[in-house]
Amino acid sequence: MLQLKLLNILYELQPVRTTVLRSCKNIPVIDVTLQKGSQISLPRFMAEILESQGIVEVGEGIIAQQDIAKVKFAHMQQRGGIPKIDEFFYTKVKYSIKKLLSKAKLEGDIVLLRTVEKMREDFIDISSIRLSALFRAFQLKGVDVIEKSCTMEEKELLNIIKTAYNKWIKEYVEFD
């Protein structure tokens, strides 16, 4: 879907803090000379490319298993509604799990593999809790109350659901 692709592009354009590991003068699109040891904000996609070349290190990296467990705990304690979480939570967690999984496979790290599996389980639990709350809110016409706590991904899902629902109502319920 176009909306989801655009949401991913928006995520990739978000600025991230990076630390310069190697001085560099001629990088296309950047009009700044990168000095070793300095910090600079760059769009995420550019920071990841430069990180893969060993030029910078991205400050906000992989989400840890403990962080996901804390989010899950907060959701288990919540009664009604959903807690506010990071704006691109789903995208960041999915990225973190993919990166850690490939690292675990590459290094043959069984402990890391188990950690990744626990992260997946907690992530699925969080997603289920949040999506159930979204569907309940939609059903009870209380989306506006819950929307302020939604991530960007969830807001897009709500838009998709609203559009499909409105089309369905026009087609099968309303009379001309």
The CATH number of 65-172 is: 1.20.58.2050
The model carries a pTM of 0.83
Report yes or no: 41 and 18 within 8 Å, Cβ to Cβ. Answer: yes
Residue 31 is predicted with a pLDDT of: 75
Residue 84 is predicted with a pLDDT of: 94
Q: How far is CA 81 from the centre of its chain?
A: 20
The CATH number of 2-58 is: 3.40.5.50
Q: What phi, psi does 115 have (nearest 5°)?
A: -60, -45
60: Cβ–Cβ under 8 A, 6 or more apart, which residues? 16, 17
Q: Work out the angle at residue 168's Cα, subtended by the Cα atoms of residues 166 and 172, and round it to the nearest 5 degrees.
A: 125
List the chain domain ranges. 2-58, 65-172
Under-50 pLDDT residues of the chain: none
Tokens of 79: 């009664």
Which region holds residue 78: left if phi is over 0, alpha if psi is between -120 and 50, else beta? beta
